[in-house]
Structure formats: C-alpha cells, structure tokens
Amino acid sequence: MSDLLLNACVFCQICNNNHRTVPFEENSKMVVFNNVTPAAKYHFLVAPKIHIDQTNLCTEEHIELIHDMVDFGRSCLLERGGDLEGSKIGFHKPVGTSVSHLHLHCIYPASEISTKYQMKQSEVFISPDTLIGNVKRKLRFQRDGNPK
Ligand SMILES: [Zn+2]
Ligand SMILES: [Zn+2]
C-alpha cells in the first residue's frame, strides 16, 4: 500500500484524526464514528486502525479482530440504550463496499431502517458470523482443498 493510497482513504484519515468526522470511541485497535448518512437513530461504523482492504480480508489473522470489532460495536450500542435483538450489525460484501477499508455497520433500532435502505443493504450486508464462516471455509480450502 503506497502512502498516496493510504492518504486517500477516508477511514484512515478518520483513524488518524485527520478528517472532519471525529471518532466518539476508540481503543488501541479500532475507532467508532457516526455514519454520515444514518439509517436509524444510531448508525455507527467500527473501523480498524490498520488499513485492511475488504477484499483482502480473508486471512486467519483477522478473525480475532473481526470478533473484537463486533464486541466493541455492540458495547457502544448497549451503552447508548440499544439492545442487540433490535440491532442490525453487519459487514459489506466486497461488491457493496462504499469505502475500501474494512468496517462494521452497527444500526439501532433496526425497525427504523427504511425499506429502501433495507433493500439496498440486504444485497450487500453479511452478518459477522457469515463473514467469519467464509474466512474459515476459505482457510480450510487453502489447507485441505476441501471447501466444506
Ligand atoms: Zn484505510
Ligand atoms: Zn459501509
């Protein structure tokens, strides 16, 4: 990844406090900030501080980070009075990626999400479990040649 590309990535700029969007939560690995076009009352994005292109996601070393992102996003929703049952939490499939920097959408309440947005997102959103399942399946395939 060249410096030029890194500098061009909006989410890297946010992680480095170099953007008008300021994270409201962060830890050593990731930041949380508001989506510019919220789909409901709360719509956060959780992004790792390291640049991971979504399409290059599928390696074993990222599984722990994915779990951490989900935990952090959930705790941010819970702290603000959200509940997990009523939330929508998901990653984009690579094809639906708006920004090529891995990020998790955390939306609450899911009941506020417009039909138009849902239709758009149902095409492109995958749950964290699905994503981790895909990563593990790909790993098994690379190791054993057996994609089950
Ligand atoms: Zn980035
Ligand atoms: Zn997104």
**Tokens matching residue 92:** 């984009």
Among 26-30, 106-110, 132-136, name the one with the lowest average pLDDT. Answer: 132-136
| Distance of CA 8 from the midpoint of ligand 1 (Å) | 8
Catalytic entry in 62, 101, 103, 105 = 103
| Distance of CA 146 from the midpoint of ligand 1 (Å) | 33
3-state SS string over 29-47? CEEEEECCCCCCCEEEEEE
Mark whether 62 is an active-site residue.
no
| Distance of CA 144 from the midpoint of ligand 2 (Å) | 33
**Tokens matching residue 32:** 């949380």
- The number of the ligand nearest the C-alpha atom of 16 reads 1
- The number of the ligand nearest the C-alpha atom of 107 reads 2
Cis peptide before 128 (omega within 30 of 0): no
Whole-number Å distance between alpha carbons of 114 and 108: 12
Residue range 96-116, pLDDT digits in tens: 556 789 999 999 999 998 877
Among 76-80, 89-93, 98-102, 140-144, name the one with the lowest average pLDDT. Answer: 98-102
| Distance of CA 52 from the midpoint of ligand 1 (Å) | 7
| Distance of CA 142 from the midpoint of ligand 2 (Å) | 28
Q: Which of 75, 81, 84, 73 is nearest to 35 (CA)?
A: 73
* CATH architecture of the domain with range 3-144: 2-Layer Sandwich (3.30)
- The number of the ligand nearest the C-alpha atom of 53 reads 1
Q: Find how far residue 52's CA is from the centre of its chain.
A: 11
